Structure 1
Amino acid sequence: MVWLGGLIVILTFVAIIKRYETRMVLFLSGVLMALLSQQPWAAFAAFQKAMVNGGLVPVISTVMGFAFVMKYTKCDAHLVHLLAAPLTKARAVLIPGAVLVTFLINIALPSAAGCAAAVGAILIPTLMGAGVHPAIAASAVLAGTWGSAFNPGNMHNPYIAKLANISDPMVVIGGHTTAALAGMVVVAVVLTAVAMLRKEDRGYEGAALAVGGVDDFKVNIVKAIVPVVPLLMLVAGSLGKLVPSVPAFKLIHAFTVPEAMIIGVFLGFLVNLRTATSQDTSKQFFAGMGEAYASVIGIIIGAAVFNEGMKLIGLTGALIDFMKHSESIAKIAATFGPFIVAVLSGSGDAATLAFNGAITPHAKQFGFDILPMGSTAFLTGALGRSMSPVAGAAIVCAGLAGINPMEITRRNWPAMVLAAIVVMFILL
């Protein structure tokens, strides 16, 4: 039965790579494996349990609702322009600066495609107008769309925290901060080097600086700050756990993610009283929550059924036994399993959730802790997606630059591969 389960898993990822609906594929594969193991109702029990997961649903839903409100109130646009404006005055840091700016904005606006659209519409024409080749301009923005690794509402942070029996996703973020920052530096430096070697960092004359670009937008500092306020609240509230040696930090209220996001929604409404109505703000918030359940939590539910099927058919146990015999095999699997599937499918979520749901809970049997193994799969899956030509964010960036998405992949694959290796060595 194990070999049959392995075949189903392979066909599952082939279907995802071929762009079949991810949630449907994961769910049907899990149910099929449960049927073959003569325990079909266990798959439905896993479905129901994931639907009401108290550690994930409120977090992810409120983050997405907050993001919708930030877009409605245009606070996200003010943040993007605030961070992008300095780049026009510092040519030497245009490419690495674009990566960093996108990375920082993606923390507050965790949707990769949404961040690519918001940032790319400004930075890609700006870089092209400064003489940067369109493919490098698009690559720089796409290369920064994994900054959401620092957002506690990103589905993987609370998911990994739950696996490790930790209530605060900020602890997960604290654990992979060094690896993520090192990976970001590697990405920015290597992509800049690629641009210089290809002589695409200057001299392009095919586009002028976009009319109505960075310089013509009047930034409201208050509105620009609103998107990052919930993140600052969460960091402040977690200082007591992250830095327990300072007693004063324990006096700060430990905000939950839903608390911080709802307060952020109120702030977004208050700073836009002239243009935003309470009714429309409320509608946007709940529309975002609904979108979170449909698009993000739906994948988690499908992955839960898939993981249950793998366990029932005996595949999970077989994989664990196989990886027990070599620590290096576990390292490579946690790093390049999610990475490769993300490159091919355009999504790091399905592969990362499948790996973390099936393998990461048994990390100690391979000589690792749950947090570093889970974070390795998370970060490398995000890096793989950030070089995939079929990722939504890549298609957005390519469209804004007027190029084929494969042109982006050709330029940023060295940065992503090296960053994945760096993440692996730091965390595992």
Structure 2
Amino acid sequence: MIWLGAIIVLLTFAAIIKRYETRMVLFVSGLLMALLSGKPLEAIDAFGKAMVNPTLVTVICTVMGFAYVMKLTKCDAHLVHLLAGGLTKFRAVLIPGTVIITFAINIALPSAAGCAAAVGAIMIPALIGAGVHPAIAGSAVLAGTWGSTLSPGATHNPFVAKLANTDVMTVIAVLTPADLAALAVVVITLTAVAYIRKEHHVEGQSVIDGNDLGEFKVNIIKAMVPIVPLVLLVLGSKQVQVIPEVTVPQAMLFGVILGFVVTWVNAQEISKQFFAGMGDAFGSVVGIIVAAAVFNEGMKLIGLTGALIEAMKHSESIAKLAATFGPFIIAVLSGSGDAATLAFNGAITPHAAQFGFGIIEMGQQAQVVGALGRSMSPVAGAAIVCAGLAKVNPIELTKRNAPAMVLAAITTMLVLL
């Protein structure tokens, strides 16, 4: 059954690569594995739970609704022209700058999908407007969505700190050099991929709504409106706490209201566009996440996820490779690094000294490679969000991010273990 599940997974990714309808492929594959396990209703239950996920659904739908309003009011065009007009003078920093900015914001906003939605709504259109290929624009944001590994609010940092009988900030301090080295590798590698593929600048693309960047009259106030929700989220985060905590839906709705106040566009049209954006987001972006939930549940029911984790647990003789590529591979396949990382850290990391490693080093290695694997997975929520904003297939982001994430995982292994 496990081998049959593995074949189905391979065929699933092959179908996605060949650009068959992603939602259909993921749903059918997951349901097929669930049927073979004799528990098809559990896959259907996963479908229902994902539809009403209180975190992802509210975040993604309100962000997309906000994006539609910004397009209606043309506030996004003012921001895009402002950023593109300045950044095009320093084209070399467009891609690396986006990765670094996203990474830094993800420390304050630990949710990968939430960060991807909030930052991507601003930076992806800006990059595309500046002439960067849409797939690279989406990849640049996705490539920074593992900054949460340095967040005190991330699940794994307190977990590893408890295992090592120390405080969270000590755990983060140990990881920081490895994370920064890996970030440099990601930035350099993704930028190189963009230049090799000649996607760092697409001729004729740096024109928005038929207007040349130099001729568009930028209104600074309108240009700032799309940034306000992001600023509120950062200032209200647990790590900053300059203002009371602000949720993503709250920030986006405030941005919609501010857009109306600044532009005085017909309120009825703003309402229509906001809810149109929410509907489109649910059908396209959330739809893929729901289908991916069925796929992940199918992998679990047929025993494939458990087998992968067990194989990783029993690789004690090659603990270094297991700590690196076990969570990484499972994260790529499932779109989440949490399950594999927690399983590894619960079973293997307490015995790190027997392998010649420190508990903090081994535990943090498992955490960071799980996050890196997720940042190249075509079924991860953050990848789906970025792909939706860039209007490309998620697999296109995987193809561009894979070299950077693999090299970064190896880099952290060399630094930590």
Same fold (TM over 0.5): yes
- For residues 168-221 of structure 1, the C-alpha deviation after alignment (integer angstroms, 9 at most, x for no partner) is xxxxxxx8999887666545545777999x9x9xxx9x9899795332222111
How far apart are the structure 1 equivalents of 2:328 and 2:220? 40
Name 1:172's counterpart in structure 2.
none
**Aligned ranges for residues 261-340 of structure 1 at < 5 Å?**
261-273=252-264, 276-326=265-315, 327=319, 328-335=321-328
Q: Within the alignment, does 1:376 sit opposite 2:376 as a pair? A: no
CA-CA distance at 1:49 after TM superposition: 1.5
1:122, distance to aligned residue in structure 2 (A): 3.3
- The 2-side partners of 1:424 and 1:215 are apart by 46
Letter in 2 for 1:16: I
Q: TM-score, normalised by structure 1?
A: 0.66
Partner-residue secondary structure (3-state), 1:85 = helix
Provide the aligned C-alpha RMSD in A. 4.9
* Equivalent pair of 1:33/1:310 in contact (CA under 8 Å): yes
2:128 paired residue among 111, 117, 120: 120
Go from structure 1 to structure 2 and tell me whether the alpha carbon gap of 1:420 and 1:314 turns closer, same or farther (over 3 Å shift): closer
Segments of structure 2 that go 5 or more residues without pairing to the other structure are: 106-114, 160-171, 350-362, 381-386
Matched, 1:94 2:98: no
| C-alpha deviation, 1:261, in angstroms | 0.8
**Corresponding residue for residue 354 of structure 2:** none
Matched, 1:252 2:243: yes
In 2: Cα distance, 1:48 partner to 1:139 partner: 30
Q: Encode CA deviations 1:35-66: one digit per residue, 9 max, x unaligned.
A: 11111211111111111112221111111111
Superposition deviation, residue 281 in structure 1: 1.0
**CA–CA separation in structure 1 for the residues paired with 2:293 and 2:194:** 41
Conserved? CA contact 1:87–1:98, under 8 Å: no
Judged with a 3 Å threshold, the aligned counterparts in structure 2 of structure 1 residues 302 and 43 are, in CA distance, closer, same or farther, namely: same
- Report the counterpart of residue 29 of structure 1 in structure 2: 29
Structure-1 residue corresponding to 2:61: 61
Deviation at 1:318, TM superposition (A): 0.9
Query: What amino acid does structure 1 have at the position aligned with 2:253?
Result: I
Please tell me whether the aligned partners of residues 187 and 416 of structure 1 are also in contact (alpha carbons under 8 angstroms): yes
CA offset digits 1:77-97 (Å, max 9, x no partner):
2112222223455xxx43224
Q: Is the 8 A contact 1:380 1:423 kept in 2?
A: no
In the TM superposition, what is the alpha-carbon distance from 1:13 to its structure 2 partner? 1.4
For 1:22 and 1:140, the matched residues in 2 are separated by: 20
Asked whether the equivalents of residues 61 and 277 of structure 2 are also in contact (C-alpha less than 8 Å), the reply is yes
CA 1:304–1:282 in structure 2 vs 1: closer, same or farther (change >3 Å)?
same
1:6 aligned to 2:6?
yes
- SS of the residue corresponding to residue 375 of structure 2 reads helix
Match of 1:255, as an amino acid? V
Any unmatched runs of 5+ in structure 1?
125-136, 166-174, 244-248, 340-350, 385-390, 397-404
Which residue of structure 1 aligns with residue 216 of structure 2? Answer: 217
Asked if 1:144 is matched to 2:140, the reply is yes
Aligned residues: 359
The CA distance in 2 between the partners of 1:111 and 1:234, in whole Å, is 11
Aligned partners of 1:34 and 1:40 also within 8 Å: yes
Whether the 8 Å CA contact 2:24–2:291 is kept in 1: the answer is yes
Give the C-alpha shift of residue 393 in structure 1: 8.8
Contact 1:63 1:261 in 2 (8 A): yes
Q: 1:117 deviation in Å? A: 5.6
Q: Secondary structure at the match of 2:70?
A: helix
Aligned partner of 1:400 in structure 2 is none
Q: Indicate if the aligned counterparts of 2:96 and 2:191 stay in contact, CA closer than 8 A.
A: no
Q: Distance in 1 between matches of 2:79 and 2:212?
A: 14
Q: Is the 8 A contact 2:189 2:404 kept in 1?
A: yes
Deviation at 1:278, TM superposition (A): 0.9
Call closer, same or farther: CA 1:209–1:242 in 2, change over 3 Å.
closer
In structure 2, the CA distance between the partners of 1:102 and 1:226, relative to structure 1 (3 Å rule), is farther
The alpha-carbon deviation at position 120 of structure 1 amounts to: 2.9
Identify the residue that residue 38 of structure 1 maps to in structure 2: 38
TM-score (norm 2): 0.67
Q: Give the superposition deviation at 1:286.
A: 1.0
What is the alpha-carbon distance in structure 2 between the residues aligned to residue 150 and residue 69 of structure 1? 29
> Structure 1 residues 6 and 104 mapped into 2: Cα distance closer, same or farther (>3 Å)?
same
- CA distance in 2: counterparts of 1:300 and 1:315, whole angstroms: 20
> Do 1:376 and 1:427's aligned partners in 2 also have CA atoms closer than 8 Å?
no
Once the two structures are TM-superposed, the CA of residue 119 in structure 1 deviates from its matched residue by 3.0
Deviates more, 1:175-184 or 1:72-81: 175-184
Q: Distance in 1 between matches of 2:182 and 2:77?
A: 27
Find the aligned partners of 2:308 and 2:205 in 1 and give their Cα distance.
54
Write the mapping of 1:349-360 to structure 2, written as runs, cut at 5 A.
351=333, 353=335, 355-356=336-337, 359-360=340-341
CA distance in 1, matches of 2:32, 2:293: 14
